[in-house]
Structure 1
Amino acid sequence: MNYFRYKQFNKDVITVAVGYYLRYALSYRDISEILRERGVNVHHSTVYRWVQEYAPILYQIWKKKHKKAYYKWRIDETY
């Protein structure tokens, strides 16, 4: 599915902004300032809306990629 269809900004900009918020726990204004330094003028309320919309989606994608290698533990007695 294309979650980024009809958005004004590129999907890379959106994922970087949401990733900064989730990974480094920055404020929306800090992320807006970081993006502005890189030439992307984004208001902090836009970053807020991106986080609200895309954080659950990115979490589901991450969860699919990082599945557990095991489901149950079995312990046998050894003497």
Structure 2
Amino acid sequence: MKIPCTMPRLKGYRFPREIVAYAVWAYHRFALSTADVEDLLAERGVIVSRETVRNWVNRFGRHFADCIKRDRPGTSDKWHLDEVVVPINGVKFWLWRAVDADGNVLDILV
């Protein structure tokens, strides 16, 4: 996990920026609930309420997303579409994947 570029100062916050960054990252990266993030932090010895996690996500989530988008490589002009049939529990599903010339996945559709 990388702390986003120039994370805002956390003056007046009880926890250091590494803990806040980890909580917001885990919430978005793994699509966890605030209760799950609360439990995850409690396992690591950080006692924090789910309301605090929700406030962190609301306050710093947009900043994380902007930094991730800015650091992501740009797409090139040429790209191609892959199609694969994937059997899941005996049922066939079609997986389409758009990939640019540099190998970056643009979108996936099942």
Gaps of 5+ in 2: 1-5, 79-110
- CA shift at 1:63, angstroms? 1.1
Runs of 4+ in 1 over 2 A off after TM superposition: none
Following superposition, the deviation at residue 38 of structure 1 comes to 0.4
Q: Does 1:26 align with 2:32?
A: yes
Q: Note if 1:4 corresponds to 2:13.
A: no
Note the residue ranges of structure 1 that are not aligned, 5 or more in a row: 74-79
Percent identical pairs in the alignment equals 28
Select the residue among 35, 47, 58 that pairs with 1:41. Answer: 47
Aligned length: 72
TM-score (norm 1): 0.81
3-state SS, counterpart of residue 59 of structure 1: helix
1:65 to 55, 64, 71: 71
User: Which is richer in helix?
Assistant: 1
**RCO comparison, higher one (Cα < 8 Å, 6+):** 1
Report the RMSD for the aligned CA atoms in angstroms.
1.5
Residue equivalent to 2:100: none
Name the SS of the counterpart of 1:9 in structure 2. Answer: coil
Task: Classify the secondary structure of the residue corresponding to 1:61.
Answer: helix
